[in-house]
Amino acid sequence: MAWPVSSRQLVGEGAIFDLVRDQVVDPTGAELRREWIRHPGAVGVIALDAADRVVLVRQYRHPAGLRLVEPPAGLLDVEGEDYLAAAQRELAEEVGLRADDWRVLVDMFTSPGASQESIRIYLARGLHDEPRPDGFVADGEEAQMDIVRAGLGDVVEAILDGRLQNPVLVAGVMAAAAARPGGWGRLRPADAPWPARGLRDEFLARAPFA
């Protein structure tokens, strides 16, 4: 469905994200200038323990200027890494846990008007303590995180009250709350296809940088 791109420029290159400027040709033939963020994508984990508590972290987010309550999550910045393996790694690194049961909760674009970021959010249950992976050292904001657990119902109420605003948390927890009455049977398996990821590569290949 992607509209043709007559030119593409790399406007700014960052450590994780790049700023891209496209001249896009709409169906009438008019050209539109659009800037967007090239993003590797991410995975997030709603980890639910036997007491129906969600395992969360509190992490400083500089663009927001706030310390946000979030689920474990991380970038898909390792070429060819399996999505589930990335989620399992993040769960171990950020909160020291592994899980017996994994399902896909929801796939989403976090801000499709400005960013290419797509994210897959998993449900993880059957939690056990897990040592941090060998070689992992928390730094930057991660070094200042702390871990909390909160009841699923309490987190839903906090979201509806506007007290929790991280998009991965909001989407993941609300999806979990919607799926729970059916005993999780509606959820997709952990290895379910993720078509948006393949389309991302096609989109990037469609127009080279000038």
User: Secondary structure of the chain: what % helix, strand, coil (to 5)?
Assistant: 25, 40, 35
DSSP state of 132: P
Known catalytic residue at 79: no
CA atoms within 13 A on the CB side of 22: 20
User: Residue 155: which of 145, 143, 170, 142 has the closest Cα?
Assistant: 170
Question: Would you put residue 61 in left (φ > 0), alpha (ψ -120 to 50) or beta?
Answer: beta
First to last CA, the chain: 23
Burial class (CB in 10 A: 0-12, 13-18, 19+), 55: buried
DSSP state of 51: T
CA 173 to chain centre: 13
Q: Which of 35, 141, 142, 157 is catalytic?
A: 142
Please list the active-site residues.
Answer: 142
